[in-house]
Chain A
Amino acid sequence: MKVGIVCPYSWDMPGGVKQHIDDLAQALIAQEHDVSVIAPAADDEELPPYVTGAGRAIPVPYNGSVARMSFGFISAARVRRWVRDGRFDVLHIHEPLVPSLGVLACWAAKGPIVATFHASWTRSRAIAVAEPLLRSALEKLSGRIAVSDAARKSLVEQFGGDTVLIPNGVTVSRYAHAEPLDGWGPDGATLGFLGRMDEERKGLPILLDAFKPLAAERPGLKLLIAGPGDAKDVYDRVPKALHDRVTVLGQVSEADKIRAYHSVDVFCAPNTRGESFGIVLAEAMASGATVLASDIPAFRRVLGDGQAGALFTNGDPASLAREAAALLDAPERRAKLAEEALVAVGKYDWSTVARDVVRVYETVTASGVGGVEEDL
Chain B
Amino acid sequence: MTSTMIVLIAGLVVVLTAVYISWRAGRLDRMHIRLELAHEALEAALMRRRAVVLELAGSRLLDPATSLVLAAAAHEARMAGPEEREHAESDLSGALRAAVDQERFTEKLSESPGGQVLLEELGAAVAKVVYSRRFYNSAVGVTRTAQRRWLARVLRLAGHTEYPQFFEIDDNPPATMATE
9 A-B pairs, CB-CB below 8 angstroms? A142-B38, A144-B138, A162-B141, A165-B179, A166-B179, A359-B131, A362-B128, A367-B44, A369-B37
Q: Please, how many angstroms separate the alpha-carbon atoms of A164 and B137 in the complex?
A: 12
Interface residue from B127, B128, B134, B145 paired with A163 (Cβ < 8 Å): B134
B138-A162 in contact (CB<8A): yes
| Cross-chain contact B40 with A366 (CB below 8 angstroms) | yes
What residue of chain B has the Cβ atom nearest to residue A360's Cβ? B131
Which residues in A have their C-beta under 8 angstroms from that of B128? Answer: 359, 362-363, 366
Flag if A136 contacts B27 (CB, 8 Å): yes
Question: How far is B133's CA from A360's CA once the two chains are assembled, in angstroms?
Answer: 11
Chain A residues near B137 (CB-CB < 8 A):
162
Task: Check A165/B45 contact, CB under 8 A, given A359-B128, A359-B131, A363-B135.
Answer: no
Asked if residues B180 and A366 are in contact (CB atoms below 8 Å), the reply is no
| B91: min CB distance to chain A, Å | 23
Chain B: minimal CB distance from A162 (Å) = 4
Please give the number of chain A residues whose Cβ is less than 8 angstroms from any Cβ of chain B in the complex: 21
Q: Is the CB of B31 within 8 A of A356?
A: no
Residue B141 contacts which of A142, A161, A166 (CB distance < 8 angstroms)? A161
**Whole-angstrom CA separation of A362 from B132 in the bound complex:** 10
B41 at the interface (CB under 8 A from A): yes
Minimal Cβ-Cβ distance residue in A for B144:
A160
- B40, B44, B135, B179: which contacts A143 (Cβ < 8 A)? B135
Q: Quick check: B38 and A164 within 8 Å, CB to CB? A: no
- For residue B27, give the distance in angstroms from its CB to the closest CB of chain A: 7
> Is B148 at the interface (CB under 8 A from chain A)?
no
Q: What CA separation (Å) do A139 and B32 show in the bound complex?
A: 11
Chain B residues with Cβ under 8 A from A136's Cβ?
Answer: 27
Whether A164 pairs with B180 at a CB distance below 8 angstroms is yes
- Chain A residue with Cβ nearest B140: A161
The answer on a CB contact under 8 Å between B37 and A139 is no
Distance from A295 Cβ to chain B, minimum over Cβ atoms (Å): 19
Q: Give the distance to chain A from B116, nearest Cβ to Cβ, in Å.
A: 14
Q: How far is the CA of A356 from the CA of B27 in the complex (A)?
A: 31
A243–B126 CA distance with the chains assembled, in angstroms: 54
- For A80-106 the 0/1 string (1 means CB < 8 A from B) is 000000000000000000000000000
Q: Enumerate A160-206 residues with CB–CB distance to B below 8 Å.
A: 160-166
Contacts of A160 in B (CB 8 A): 138, 141-142, 145
**Number of inter-chain CB pairs below 8 Å:** 67
Q: How far is the CA of A202 from the CA of B31 in the complex (A)?
A: 43
- Are the CB atoms of A164 and B130 closer together than 8 Å? yes
User: Is B21 an interface position by the 8 A CB rule?
Assistant: no
B179/A356 in contact, CB under 8 A: yes
Q: Is the CB of A303 closer than 8 A to any CB of chain B? A: no
Known: A139-B30, A144-B135, A360-B131. 15 other contacts (CB 8 A): A142-B34, A142-B135, A160-B141, A160-B142, A161-B138, A162-B135, A162-B138, A163-B138, A165-B179, A166-B179, A362-B128, A363-B131, A366-B128, A367-B37, A369-B37
CB within 8 Å for A139 and B142 given contacts A162-B137, A359-B124, A359-B127:
yes
Q: Taking the complex as formed, is A364 at the interface, i.e. its CB lies under 8 A from any CB of chain B?
A: yes
Q: How far is the CB of A207 from chain B (nearest CB, A)?
A: 29
Which residues between 48 and 98 of chain B lie within 8 Å of chain A, taking CB atoms?
A: none
Task: Encode contact with B along A132-149: 1 for CB under 8 Å, 0 otherwise.
Answer: 000010010011100000
CA distance A144 to B132 in the complex (A): 11
Give the Cβ gap from B152 to chain A, nearest Cβ, in Å: 14
Q: Which residues of A contact B34 (CB under 8 A)?
A: 139, 142
CB–CB B40/A165 < 8 A: no
Distance between B48 CB and nearest chain A CB, rounded to angstroms? 9
The answer to whether B131 and A143 have CB atoms under 8 Å apart is yes
CB distance from A12 to the nearest CB of B (A): 34
What chain A residues lie within 8 Å of B134 (beta carbons)?
A: 162-164
Q: A366, B27: Cβ atoms under 8 Å?
A: no
Q: Are B41 and A367 in contact (CB under 8 A)?
A: yes
Residues of chain A contacted by B180 (CB below 8 angstroms):
164-166
Please give me the residue from chain B that is nearest to A159 by CB atom: B142
- Docked complex Cα distance between A142 and B27 (Å): 15
With A162-B134, A164-B130, A164-B180 already in contact, the answer to whether A366 and B141 are too (CB < 8 A) is no
Chain A residues with CB under 8 A of B131: 143, 164, 359-360, 363
State in angstroms the CA–CA spacing of A142 and B31 once bound together.
10
